[in-house]
């Protein structure tokens, strides 16, 4: 085998190895997820596919997370609104965290709902859909355990 063929073979093997490593890395830490429903509209759209960063993770307020219900049968996609130890209250559709009004430019509706006050337990988060009138969220099923979180949506507009 000539030196040029050896170099070409080495370059090909390195390229294939790097590609394989990159794919394994990507699919270990990321997954594609298709949204079902309108509860996260207008931020996320029904039947569109988004990139999910796999957990475990410590979510921040504003993160859009994917989590399983307590029976691990249904996956939900919602926005983290309140973190452990915080008090949440909704008055006339406005969300208050520890008495401070939360700025929510992503909210789809101005539905005049009331909720709480509610103290988020340790190792839990409180989630809401952006389209509150079409969302089943922590107002109905309570706070989400950090262990239920599968990941968070990244790279959406």
Closest residue by Cα to residue 39 from 156, 110, 139, 131: 131
- Cβ-based burial of 115 (10 A; exposed 0-12, middle 13-18, buried ≥19): middle
Task: Pick the catalytic residue from 41, 78, 135, 152.
Answer: 78
Q: How far is CA 142 from CA 21, 45, 82, 157, in A?
A: 40, 24, 12, 28
Rounded CA-CA distance 153/157 in Å is 11
Are 131 and 40 in contact, with CB atoms under 8 Å apart? yes
- Whether 78 sits among the annotated catalytic residues: the reply is yes
Rounded CA-CA distance 153/33 in Å is 8
Q: How many CB atoms lie within 10 A of CB 153?
A: 20
Task: Pick the catalytic residue from 39, 43, 135, 138.
Answer: 39
Catalytic residues: 39, 78
């Amino acid at each position: 085998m000539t030196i040029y063929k050896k170099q070409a073979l080495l370059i090909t093997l390195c390229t294939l190895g790097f590609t394989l490593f990159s794919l394994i890395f990507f699919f270990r830490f990321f997954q594609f997820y298709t949204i079902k429903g309108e509860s996260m509209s207008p931020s996320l759209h029904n039947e569109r596919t988004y990139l999910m960063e796999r957990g475990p993770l410590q979510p921040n307020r504003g993160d859009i997370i994917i989590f399983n219900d307590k029976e691990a049968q249904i996956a939900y996609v919602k926005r983290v609104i309140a973190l452990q130890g915080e008090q949440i209250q909704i008055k006339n559709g406005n969300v208050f965290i520890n008495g401070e009004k939360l700025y929510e430019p992503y909210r789809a509706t101005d539905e005049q709902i009331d909720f709480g006050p509610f103290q988020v337990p340790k190792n839990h988060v409180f989630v809401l859909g952006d389209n509150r009138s079409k969302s089943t969220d922590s107002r109905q099923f309570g706070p989400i355990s950090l262990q239920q979180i599968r990941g968070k949506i990244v790279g959406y507009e």
